Amino acid sequence: MDLFGKPVAPPMKLEADSIWLEYGQRKVLQNIYLRVDVGQIIGLLGRNGCGKSSLLEIIYGIKSAQNASVRIDGNHIKKLFQCKNVAAYLPQKNFVPSHLRVDEAFTLYQSALAEAKSLFPELSSLFSYRFNQLSGGQQRLVETLMVATCPASFIILDEPFSNVMPLHVDALKTLFMSLKSRKGILITDHYYHDVLAISDSIYLLNTGGRTIQLQQPEQQLKNFGYIN
């Protein structure tokens, strides 16, 4: 609701451009454009060290850059993470405090337990565990489910498939496909086949810090030397 009690329409478009990041004389990001609409899964691919994680952190507002423009429905946003229920971010490294129980973490994120459990029934048996009692793969899976099923309109996922069992990777892909009817999802992962399988559009971040939207992803990834 706005100040006059009228319902506020959920955001529909996330854009990022004019992002410039350099360390000393090394230009990491310099010619960036990304767009994610609700109803889409957008894949971001690139070689190790090309700046994918930095780009996602800048978009979410937790990393500074020399310049950045992030917009929601055309409105400039300085710190995306401060906008309630607009975006949620899964970082590359574990982020839930180790002493928290799984059920406590889901509650804090206001995540949709029923939706998560429909594809991952074994989740119920983990609710009473603290995060430091979970395996690395279990932690990654639980954190991904928390972020993906929270109320945010846009989900930014940095390597959600890392250390996750192939069976669970397939279930996560199914979940992401079902979520995109009401969310926009930006995903990067080294398991590029899985990213390609679910993405509506692919951006390649090259070593010069430029994003290229691919029209024929598999062929162009070969042309750019990303895959053989």
DSSP H stretches of helix in the chain: 52-60, 102-108, 113-119, 136-148, 166-179, 192-198, 217-223
CB 226 within 8 A of CB 45: yes
64 domain residue, yes or no: no
- At residue 114, the pLDDT reads 86
C-alpha distances in angstroms, 94 versus 78, 98, 176?
25, 9, 20
Least confident of 19-33, 48-62, 130-144: 19-33
Q: Tell me the C-alpha distance between 187 and 56, whole Å.
A: 9
pLDDT at residue number 227: 85
Q: 186 and 154 in contact (C-beta within 8 Å)?
A: yes
Asked whether residue 56 is assigned to any structural domain, the reply reads no
pLDDT tier, 83 (very low <50, low <70, confident <90, very high otherwise): very high
pLDDT for 4: 41
- Residue 66: inside a domain: no
Banded pLDDT at 8 (limits 50, 70, 90): low
Domain assignment present for residue 156? The answer is yes
Nearest-Å Rg of the Cα atoms of the chain is 18
> Structurally, how many domains does the chain consist of?
1
pTM, to two decimals: 0.94
Hey, is 32 helix, strand or coil?
coil
State the average pLDDT for the chain. 93
Reported as a single tens digit per residue, the pLDDT across 103-151 is 999 999 999 888 898 889 989 999 999 999 999 999 999 999 999 999 9
Residue 72 falls inside a structural domain = no
What is the pLDDT, as a whole number, of residue 113?
A: 84
pLDDT of residue 3: 44
Structural domain includes residue 17: no
Is the residue at 117 inside a domain? yes
d(CA 41, CA 186): 6
| Encoded tokens for 141 | 């899976």
Residue 30 to residue 17: CA distance in whole angstroms: 9
Distance between CA atoms of residues 37 and 15, nearest Å: 9
List the domain range (segments joined by +) for residue 112.
40-47+83-223
In whole angstroms, give the CA distance from residue 38 to residue 225: 31
Residue-wise pLDDT for 184-203, tens only, equals 999 999 999 999 999 999 99
**Residue 74 φ/ψ region, left for φ over 0, alpha for ψ in the -120 to 50 degree band, beta for the rest:** left
CATH code at position 164: 3.40.50.300
